[in-house]
Structures are given as structure tokens and as C-alpha cells.
Structure 1
Amino acid sequence: MASVEEKLLTILFEEVVPAQGCTEPIAIAYTAAKAREILDEPIERVEVRISGNMIKNVKSVVVPNSGGMVGIETSVAMGLIAGDSKKDLMVISDIDADEMQHVKVFLERKVIEVLHVESDAKLYVEIKVFSKSHWVSVEIKHTHTNITRILKDGELILDRPCNDADFNSSFEDREVLSIAVIYETAQTIDLSKIRPLFLKVIELNSRIAHEGLEGHYGVNIGKIICDNIKKGFYGNDVRNRAAAFASAGSDARMSGCALPVMTTSGSGNQGMTSSLALIEYANVLHVNEEKLLRALFFSHLATVHIKSNVGRLSAYCGVICSAAAVSGALAFLNDESLEVVSHSIGNTLGDVSGIICDGAKSSCAMKIATTLYAAFDAYMLASAGRFLQGGDGIIAHDIEKTLKNIGALSQDGMYITDKVIIDIMSKNHAKR
């Protein structure tokens, strides 16, 4: 039987993976590529059945390597024309200009039909491709590359049951996770087991953050915070610099920058939030590599733990989960007790849990900045012995019960909120 540490490492390597572009359009491209590879014939038409949450997260975000194009049809066409499913979330990383011309020609044929379907799985895509003589259907559920069913001409090629109530059913059991277990393991784990992964996190996520600081992407909040630090409007302190660095990565990524990032819980924004603020904190305050790597281990697994309660896609903004984890990691970096770590997380969740997810787009970078400012404040309060009291609002007397409350809030309490957001976005799209 695997030890607790071995289980945590399995979860870590399942969840912290490279991806190019926002993971929802990439998941669609991945599904389309898989369907084309199995059909292996010229495609006459395509049917896409997709959940509302997927529509929400694909509608406004730029698909990387597309030349500024957005949308489900673009993602499907790029996967069909040039996708390689063996690359998982890097499926369209090698598409070139000539192939994009073929994508545009394919889109001009108007052969892709998109249907919004009601599904208990908030992350749901089925793509059905037709040649003149055959058809193939590929379905994913719950996670971005989790293929649950493949059909060819009605014959079942793959059937992998996936319980709609458990989006992690194909992964290591998340029940092993708790803030206490993550905290204790982060202190003792052999760094050789995690150093290669987190050096890659530091390399890739820092690269796109620097790109966001130097280029013109989205609302450019990261760059503008830095500009205002230079002007003296903001102080040149670690809190401002950390928020700028993390949000700059999202500025670039949501606007179609082709640089890959290391994701967490299926999200590049969560991966960048979980890492970049801590990387900049360590840079400014000259934190040694060992402490940074252990803090990154804590922040990523704490993000996974909090997000496992929330669900893969939700009306509850996912970067709240990562920012709360960062708050705990800041306490961890400063050798605080488990109690202070837990209160830091609780303070963050009690502060910013009202932020909604209304799809992947430029405002994600603003939400990263907002939640990270809250994370620093939350740790500052906890370190001074000030924390939100159990029984006040959604905060419980125990951090694990608080996380369960967050899960109930996001999955049950925000169920209608999610539907209203999707309806509003659909109407806005129809008027364009």
C-alpha cells in the first residue's frame, strides 16, 4: 500500500502539468484531434455537444497560435487540422501559419454545429466527426484530457465509467489531502522528489510572466501595476510586485500568448497564481531555493485540496483557491505554525469568496491581482493573531470544515448563479 507521501506525490504529478493556452479551448482541440485520428478520413461535418461551463470558458479567450481567434469552432478546427492528441494539453503547440490557413478554410465551410447540452459534469465535451462513410464520437468528462467514451460507427471502442459526482474519479483518491498533511509533508519531503517539477514551474511560469510585463496583452494589469510602482503611485514592496508578476502571466495567457505554463487543478491561471507570487516573494526577499520549493509544494497541493471541494469548473472563481493556498504558503515560508497557516487560508476565503467566474478572459488577470492582495493581507492578520472566527459567515472553527463550506457554497449555493452567468454571456454573444 502506498504511503501518504507517495499518494501526495501522485496527486501532484497528476495535477501540475504543462499546457499551452487556456485549458478549456485546448481540451476541445484535444478531443477534436483524437476524433480525427481515429476516423482517419476527410471530414465532411462535425457535431459538438458541450456543457455551459465549457462554453463560458471558451467564449472570450484567445486560442494560442490562432492569430487572435477565439471560440469553440476555432478550437475544434485547430484540433482537427493540426492537433496531436499524444501531446495532451500541448495538442496544438506546433501548429504553423500554413496549417492555420487550412483552419480558416475549414471554418469557412460552416460544417461545425455546436449544441449546448445540460450535463451533470460541468466539464463535458463530445465531438462527433463524419466522413462520407463513417463517423467517430469522442467524449471527455470532468478533467481536460479524461476520455470516457469513444464510438466508431456505433461500435464501442472505449467506455470508461466516470461517476458524475466525482470529477477526480480517474485520479488518485483526494481524500488523503488535508491542510495538516500537506503542511507536515512539505516540511519533510526529500527535495529530490519535487525539485525537477518545481524548477520547471519556476522556469515556464516566470517566462510568461516576464512576457506579460514586457508586452501588450489584455488589460495589462501586471505591467500597469509595475509602471505605477515606478511612478510612486504604488510602493515598491513585495506585495505589489508579487501581484504584478502573477497577474502579468495571466494577461499574456488569456490574450493568446503561445508560451506554455504549468497548470494546477486543470487551470493555468491557478498554476500561475499558486507559483508566481511566491517566486517573486522569494526573489525580493532572497528566500533560498529549498524554502521556496517546499512552499511551492504546499501551495500547489493546497490549491488542489481546496479546488477538489469546489469542483473543476464552477461559478466560484478558481484563483480564490490558489490565492488562499498562497496565503498559507506565505505563512509556511515564514516558519509559522499550522494554526497560523490555517488561519491565513481561512482569512483569504472569508474575504474574497464572493468573486464569480464569468469565463476565461482578460479580467482573470485582475482577479489574480485582487485575490493575491487579499492573500497577503490574510497572512498579515493571521501572523498578528487576528483571524476570522468560526461561526462567522462561511468560516468554521476548523479549516477542513471551512473548505467543506466553500464546496457547498460553490456547488450548491452558486448553482443558479452559474446558469445566470452562462445565460447572460450567451445573450451578450448573440448581440455581437
Structure 2
Amino acid sequence: MNNSDLKYKNYVQILKEELQPAMGCTEPIAIAYAAAKAREILGYTPEKVIVEVSLNIVKNVKSVIVPNTNRLKGIGAATAAGIIAGKSEKRLEVISQVTEEEKQKIKEYLLTIPIEVKLAETPFIFDIQMSVVYKDSYVKVRIVNYHTNIVLIEKDGEILYQKEATVSIEDGLSDKKLLNVKDIIDFANSVDIKDIEGIIGEQIECNSRIAEEGLKNSHGANIGSVILSTYGSDVKIRAKAKAAAGSDARMDGCELPVIIISGSGNQGMTASIPVIEYAKELKVSKEKLYRALVISDLVTIHQKTGIGRLSAYCGVICAGAGSGAGIAYLYGGSYKEIAHTIVNALAIVSGIVCDGAKASCAAKIATAVDAGILGYNMYKEGQQFKAGDGIVTKGVEATISNVGKLAKEGMKETEKEIVRIMIGN
């Protein structure tokens, strides 16, 4: 693929847009971002707050610890953190700089100021509306489709900012319909490393650091440490354990940033850490690792394009298949090996549900990575799942399309039932 081609430029731009730094689980951070922006426009600390959110936001915020809050959880905690200590210019690192005094003020604010949470009646899967009030003044900030996509800022009846939003389109982002596995491999083989070095280098640095933190200290259910102590330490075990350990730390409120993919830190770690670990084992060049990560990242994004940012389908399954593709590339695999790896992995674990961000995400990551590795090893041994085996159909693109339909359309009612179970209704 020539670097003057429109598709080449599009692929580079997709990586720049999707591989972003974030501190903490991205849904509570998006709430904190909306709250910080609303408070800044209001000009005062609100004395009343109403937060209206879609079902998926409820699910992904309920059980995860909000960083820099002394281990508080939930929509109210994320809102209070954004109001008291948020810096909206830092976007998904909005509450990365919080003093000890501010942490105490966040707790006091939660205890003294009413923060009303409502379920939004909305066609958008991702929808956050933050309304803040001080005396006779109010501000509304609305985010839809993805975590930093502000579509409305309103103050005291005046529209300060507004843009159109479409349910089926992520307005303002590159068109991902150009992605396909064959072209992703072509792009990875031909990309000028200078064009992606900064993005991929930061991904390696940030995500490796939080994985090491997850293994070094006690976080969540310590899935990474359990895997290592139970199953040994060969490369396939380390790949699963380190990816899981990053999630152990992140879901436990660790204040280290990660480089996200498709709006998810867990997906970002699942797509990157196993590939990094295999690259160390195989002693490949830095350039080979970068190209393998490009494949893993873009294969993950490609799968998520048909699913959407949030779903009842666990997103790390896509990233596990992506990391399997990246590992296949490290071993010298071409389109055929990579395509079969993806299909095999999806056949194994598609259907694992997303029941929100929490400690068990780490175990799901380990399972997804294992499926990616097994998917590749199956093909090496001359084995594969074939068209007609469940949702598997002829060709990797058609199988990815089937998974998208399953996740986006087929699991809509599953999503509602998951939330009803989680909130006890």
C-alpha cells in the first residue's frame, strides 16, 4: 500500500483516533469529562446535578472503581470527581491530576449535593447528558456515540454549541468501512514506521507499565498472578497473565494511563500486551513488533466497527482475536494464517457477554487471549472451524460480519436483561 493512497492515510488516521491515552475505565471517565465541562461553563460548583445515561453506561459504570477518588464507585462518584477536580482539556485523563484535598472534597460533595441519575430515553447506545444547576443558572452538556463527542452545550436556554449526531455514524471520526483483513496486512507490511512510531511506541510503554503494576501489587481478583502461579510461565501463559494483570490494575482504580482501542482500555491491553510478550520471546526486531501491533490493533477495530462502541458482546473477544492475528504475524504468518486465526478465535469465544466493567474483566481477557493463541495453533496443526459451524461462514470478512450482527442486533434484549439483573429489577 503506497503512502500517498487515500486508504493508507485513512488507516494511519484511524490509529491516531482510536489509540488514545485514558486513565481509568472510559465510561466513568466520560461522565467525569461531561461533568468537568459543565462545571466550567457554569462557572460555579453546582448545587444540583442530574445525569441522564443510556443502559450501557449504567452497566459499565456501576461496579468499577473511579481513579483518584479513594476507591469510590458509580455514576455519582464519577460525576463528583469531574465537578470537583476535573480538567476537561485533558479529555480522557480528565481526573488524572487530583490532590488529596480534592479527594476529600469529592467525598463531601457526594454526601451533601443531590446527584440524580436517570435512565435516558434515547436511540443512542452511548449517551450521557449532564445537567448542572447553581441558583437560577443551569448548563447542559451531552455526549453521544463515543467518549469525548460533545454534541450539545446549553446554558440558561442559549445553545453555546451544537452539532448533528447520527445513531449509525460516529460523526467526526474516520470511515472504518474501508478496513478489511487483507488490506490491514498490506498496510502493516508497507507502512512507514515513522508514521506510526509515536502511537505504537506509547501503546507499548503505557500498557506494559500497567501490566507490570498488576502483577507486582494486589489488584482486583489478581487474575494475572493466579494464572502465573497456577499454570507456569511459558510465553502463552505470560501473554494471558500480563494482559489480565493490566485489567486487574485498571478495574481496581489504578491511576496509570492505558492506550485504549475503540474506546476501551481493556481492549487496548488485550490487543497489545500478548503481542509484546510474544515479540520478546521470539526476539523479533522493534520494527516487526510495531507491524504486528498494527495488525492486532486494526483487526480489533475492524471487528468493533460492526458491533459498535458498547454492546452486550464482550469487546475483549475482538481484541483477543486481534492479538492472535498479531502473534500469527510474528511467526511469519501471511493472510491465510491470520485469517484462519481470527475465524478460529471467534468461533471459540463469541457469545461471552459484557456485564459491565469490573474485576472479572481480567478473566475474560485471559480467555480471549487464549482463544487467539489456540486459533493460531489450530491452523498450524492443520485444523480449523469451517463454514456452517455455528456462526462461522466462508471467509474471514463474512464471519466478522456475522459476529457484528450477533452483537449489535441479536443481543439487544440480552443487554436490557443484563442491566435489569445488575440493578436488581
TM-score scaled to structure 2, two decimals?
0.97
* Structure 2 CA distance for aligned equivalents of residues 173 and 422 of structure 1: 31
* Structure 1 CA distance for aligned equivalents of residues 395 and 172 of structure 2: 29
**How far has the Cα of 1:235 moved from its partner?**
3.8
Do residues 249 (structure 1) and 251 (structure 2) align? no
The answer as to whether partners of 1:162 and 1:170 remain within 8 angstroms in 2 is: no
1:414 to 399, 411, 415: 411
Do residues 405 (structure 1) and 402 (structure 2) align? yes
The answer as to whether partners of 2:45 and 2:83 remain within 8 angstroms in 1 is: no
**How far has the Cα of 1:33 moved from its partner?**
0.4
Instruction: Give the residue type in structure 2 aligned to 1:35.
Output: A
**How far has the Cα of 1:2 moved from its partner?**
6.0
* Structure 1 CA distance for aligned equivalents of residues 249 and 400 of structure 2: 31
Do residues 260 (structure 1) and 257 (structure 2) align? yes
| 1:188-226 Cα distance to aligned partner (Å, 9 max, x none) | 111111112111111111111000001001110101222
1:383 to 380, 385, 388: 380
1:273 to 270, 286, 290: 270
Q: Per the alignment, in what secondary structure is the counterpart of residue 352 of structure 2? A: coil
Q: Report what 1:231 is aligned to.
A: none
**How far has the Cα of 1:40 moved from its partner?**
0.6
Q: Report what 1:203 is aligned to.
A: 205
The answer as to whether partners of 2:69 and 2:106 remain within 8 angstroms in 1 is: no
**How far has the Cα of 1:156 moved from its partner?**
1.3
Instruction: Give the residue type in structure 1 aligned to 2:303.
Output: I
Q: Report what 1:191 is aligned to.
A: 193
Superposed CA RMSD in Å reads: 1.2
Instruction: Give the residue type in structure 2 aligned to 1:16.
Output: L
**How far has the Cα of 1:136 moved from its partner?**
0.5
2:23 to 20, 36, 49: 20
Q: Report what 1:105 is aligned to.
A: 108
Residue-pair matches, total? 422
Equivalent positions of 1:295-306 (< 5 A) are: 295-306=292-303
| 1:63-87 Cα distance to aligned partner (Å, 9 max, x none) | 1111111010000000001101100
Equivalent positions of 1:29-68 (< 5 A) are: 29-68=32-71
* Alpha-carbon distance change, 103 to 236 in structure 1, aligned in 2, over 3 angstroms: closer
Q: Per the alignment, in what secondary structure is the counterpart of residue 424 of structure 2? A: helix
Do residues 89 (structure 1) and 92 (structure 2) align? yes
**How far has the Cα of 1:334 moved from its partner?**
1.5
For structure 1, the residue ranges without an aligned partner over 5 or more in a row are 229-233
* Structure 1 CA distance for aligned equivalents of residues 387 and 88 of structure 2: 47
Deviates more, 1:69-78 or 1:333-342: 333-342
The answer as to whether partners of 2:306 and 2:401 remain within 8 angstroms in 1 is: yes
Instruction: Give the residue type in structure 1 aligned to 2:221.
Output: V
* Structure 1 CA distance for aligned equivalents of residues 326 and 289 of structure 2: 9
The answer as to whether partners of 2:188 and 2:294 remain within 8 angstroms in 1 is: yes
| 1:283-323 Cα distance to aligned partner (Å, 9 max, x none) | 12212211110000111111111011111000000000000
Equivalent positions of 1:262-411 (< 5 A) are: 262-411=259-408
* Structure 2 CA distance for aligned equivalents of residues 236 and 47 of structure 1: 49
* Structure 1 CA distance for aligned equivalents of residues 325 and 134 of structure 2: 53
How many percent identity over aligned positions? 46
* Structure 2 CA distance for aligned equivalents of residues 367 and 6 of structure 1: 34
2:181 to 176, 179, 182: 179
The answer as to whether partners of 1:58 and 1:360 remain within 8 angstroms in 2 is: yes
Deviates more, 1:332-341 or 1:262-271: 332-341
**How far has the Cα of 1:169 moved from its partner?**
2.4
The answer as to whether partners of 2:312 and 2:354 remain within 8 angstroms in 1 is: yes
For structure 2, the residue ranges without an aligned partner over 5 or more in a row are none
2:79 to 70, 76, 96: 76
Q: Report what 1:150 is aligned to.
A: 153
Q: Per the alignment, in what secondary structure is the counterpart of residue 138 of structure 1? A: strand
Q: Per the alignment, in what secondary structure is the counterpart of residue 135 of structure 1? A: strand
The answer as to whether partners of 2:47 and 2:113 remain within 8 angstroms in 1 is: no
Do residues 162 (structure 1) and 162 (structure 2) align? no
Deviates more, 1:75-84 or 1:383-392: 383-392
* Alpha-carbon distance change, 42 to 257 in structure 1, aligned in 2, over 3 angstroms: closer
Q: Per the alignment, in what secondary structure is the counterpart of residue 8 of structure 2? A: helix
Q: Per the alignment, in what secondary structure is the counterpart of residue 317 of structure 1? A: coil
* Structure 1 CA distance for aligned equivalents of residues 92 and 343 of structure 2: 32
TM-score scaled to structure 1, two decimals?
0.96
Instruction: Give the residue type in structure 2 aligned to 1:49.
Output: E
Deviates more, 1:359-368 or 1:145-154: 145-154
Q: Per the alignment, in what secondary structure is the counterpart of residue 59 of structure 2? A: helix
The answer as to whether partners of 1:331 and 1:383 remain within 8 angstroms in 2 is: no
The runs of 4+ residues in structure 1 deviating greater than 3 Å are none
Instruction: Give the residue type in structure 1 aligned to 2:190.
Output: T
